[in-house]
Each structure stands twice: as C-alpha cells, then as structure tokens.
Structure 1
Amino acid sequence: MVTFEPGELVYVRHFQNTQIGGLFRMRAVRHDERGALLWCAHGTCGWHLNRLDDRRMSQIPLAEWVTGPKQPMPFVARHSALSWHPTGADYSVRWLFDTDGRFRSWYVNLERPGVAWRDPRLAGLDTTDWDLDVWVDADRTWRWKDEDVFAERLTQPEHYWVDDEARVRRAGREVIDLVEAGVFPFDGTWCDYRPDPSWAADTGDTPPPGWDRPRSW
C-alpha cells in the first residue's frame, strides 16, 4: 500500500474516461488505513485541462470534449481546503476555510475511491469526479450541487465517464445521512485545523514532469 508522508506534495488527478480533467496540488497531513488527509493552501496553483483554444468543458458539447486534445491551464485556489479521502469510499470531504483561517463550509465530492501512487518523481491520488456533489453549510444545512449537469450528461452514456447513476446517488445519500446525524466527518472535527506554518501556497504554474503518467487503478 502506498502511503504519503506528512508534508509530502501530493497531486490529486481527476480523470474523465482515460483523460485527466484536473490536477490539484496538495500537502499530505496524514495517511493510514483509514484514508488520506490532504491540505491545499489558499493561493496554490492547480490545473484544469482545457481545449487548446482554452475553452472549458462547460463551453463544448460533451462528444467534442471527450475526443479533442487538451492542455493544462493554471488556476489559483481561492480558499484553503482540508480534504479527507476515506479508504474505499465513493466520496471525499473538503473543509473550506476563509483566508483568515475561519471554517466556512464542507464540500462533498462524489467520486470513485482514490488510488494512491508514487514514482521516483511524484506522489499522487487518482480518481474520477462524478460531477454530482453535496454542499454542506457550517450549520449542516445541505443541498445537492450540479444535479442538472449530472442529469444532462447521463443522457450521453457513450461519452460520459459515469456508468452507474444509482451508485453515485447512493454515495450522496450516505453522506447526507452522516450530515443529518451530525457525526464524523460533520461533527466539528478539524473545523479548527491549522496547517504546518511552513506549508506556504505552491505557486509554480507549470505542471511537474510526470504529471500525465498512466492512471493508477
């Protein structure tokens, strides 16, 4: 089992079929059999994969998007995030913090269970983002996010990277049950988290060599 060391740079890659759709640079807080806890500081540079003319996925028909060439385009994290990837779970949970360190909300990304990897140059976590998400306010008020996008893409199974709608919705309901019960990870744990002071934002805007290595399953 690959495990990340505290402070190690970890590149989280979101795949769409066999192509990378997003590359997110984080720091490992801890990693054990329960899962990986990662940190992204406000101002850190990540990358979305856009078309060569810089059009984003929302601007292109899905059939054209999945077949055309893409290139990494940098973006800057607008807030700090603590990201929990429980082992074997169909979701990850992010604690979002304002620039002054105040906890703001949770964001639940429904996704394929992450697979950790390491080679001589990089360490990373590979997953598939399932588009449908759950937003959870600090008072545990929750709502679905991107239901319309999810439903529209499901009508194009020959192009879409989600092949089991029921599984995605089950994962969402599992999370919502935890939210409504007020139990971990929605019980206040890590809402006062403070990172190692040496973990400044990583601002380099060029992906590291090896970022596009074959996916780990």
Structure 2
Amino acid sequence: MPFTPGQIVLRRYWRDGRNTFVKPMIVVADDDAGLLLWMAAGSEIALMRDADGRTLHDVALDEMRAPALERDRFRDNDILVLMPPGAAYSVWWFFRAGTFHGWYVNLESPITRRADGVDTTDHVLDVVIDPDRGWTWKDDDEFAARIGHPQYFDSAAAAEIRATGEHLIELAEAGAFPFDGTHTRFHPDPAWGPLTLPAPPSASPSR
C-alpha cells in the first residue's frame, strides 16, 4: 500500500542488522515516480555514535566502541528526497530559506517498505551536484577504505555502486530528470515545520 501525502514516516539506515540512522519525514507523494519525502531543517534525527563520539564516517561499524543511536538535529538545509522504485540511490533537493541550493545523490540499497517507513543501507559514496550541474564525489576516501570489509561491500559491488553514481552524473550533465528543474521551485505546506522522532530510537537488530 502506498503511503498517504502528509503522513509522517521514518527513513532508516541499517548496517549488518543494526539501525544506524533515522530521519522522520513527511510524505509529499508516493506514485510511479517513487516515494517523495520532505524534512525541514531543525528536525530531530538519530545517528549512531560510539563511546568515543565517533560516527560511521570516522570508523567502520565493527571498530566502534559501545555504539548507540543518539538524538541530534538535522541542520542547515530543508530536504526533498526522491526514492525511485527499485533504485539503488535517492536524490535529494537542498533548500535554504525556500531557495534551491543543489542536489545530493545518496547511493544506497533499494528501499524496503515497512508499515511506518522505509529501510535502506547506505553505500557510503555520494555525489554533490551544484545548481549549475557541476558535481563532485563525496566520501570517496571513506568508500575506498570500506571495500572488502565484510560489513560493507566487495570490489564487484563497489564497482556497481560507483557505476550507479556515474550514471546519475551523466543525467545531471545532460540536464535530464531528475536534474531538469523538477522540484527546484518546490514549496512545502507551511505547516510542515521541524519534526521530532516519535519514540526513543533503538539500534536493536529487531525490526
């Protein structure tokens, strides 16, 4: 069943059976183009940190000491996030004070739908695309360091992940959907302010 516009859902990241990141988001649309979600800057999120304050950007999951989900705030940008059906990526539109500030391609596993939201596994490598469609890879060094790690991806899977990113770069350079101006003038419902997580987050492998 599709989600209902205006419904609040959770977008969760998982790794090796552990919940590593949670965002509460508002459903804009759920149709043939994919699931389109909105989250205002200042919304409460949860991300995994260990006893030393490190995140998964700093170390691999198995190198963390007593990791747990901690509440935080999503700062700086409002985001509109599209997850096309079956896609191994999501595309984010960044807005600041109602002005479009560029795209972000988050490479990830195709989403799994749950009653209260969607689950995915982050593929570490991302692409940042400017409003003029200039682009840069993000977290390339981190991605390279995770290749061959049993909790991440082998070299063949890593090549597929990068190829997906290269395909999205080609679309951006061509000005093709979703980089054709679609949603760049999006204005949310004025009532869609910052969100809070509905319950204490858990990193438990139980789903």
What corresponds to 2:78 in structure 1?
A: 80
Letter in 2 for 1:28: V
Identity among equivalent positions (%) equals 38
TM-score by length of structure 2 reads: 0.90
Distance in 2 (alpha carbons) for counterparts of 1:177 and 1:57: 29
State the Cα deviation string for residues 28-50 of structure 1 (Å, max 9, x = none).
Answer: 00002331000001211111111
Counterpart among 152, 156, 159 of residue 161 in structure 1: 152
Distance in 2 (alpha carbons) for counterparts of 1:152 and 1:64: 13
What corresponds to 2:90 in structure 1?
A: 92
8 Å CA contact retained: 2:9, 2:117: yes
Distance in 1 (alpha carbons) for counterparts of 2:130 and 2:206: 33
Q: Does 1:3 align with 2:2?
A: yes
Q: Structure 1 pair 106/53, CA: closer, same or farther in 2 (3 Å)? A: same
Q: Structure 1 pair 21/52, CA: closer, same or farther in 2 (3 Å)? A: same
Give the C-alpha shift of residue 170 in structure 1. Answer: 1.5
Query: Unaligned 5+ residue runs, structure 1?
Result: none
What corresponds to 2:27 in structure 1?
A: 28
Distance in 1 (alpha carbons) for counterparts of 2:203 and 2:28: 24
8 Å CA contact retained: 1:48, 1:75: no
Spell out the pairing of 1:136-147 with structure 2 (5 A cutoff): 136-147=129-140
Give the C-alpha shift of residue 135 in structure 1. Answer: 0.6
User: RMSD of the TM alignment (CA)?
Assistant: 2.1
Query: Unaligned 5+ residue runs, structure 2?
Result: none
Distance in 2 (alpha carbons) for counterparts of 1:64 and 1:212: 16
8 Å CA contact retained: 1:126, 1:215: no
State the Cα deviation string for residues 107-157 of structure 1 (Å, max 9, x = none).
Answer: 000000111211xxxx111001101001100000011111101001114x2
8 Å CA contact retained: 1:38, 1:83: yes
Give the C-alpha shift of residue 76 in structure 1. Answer: 2.9
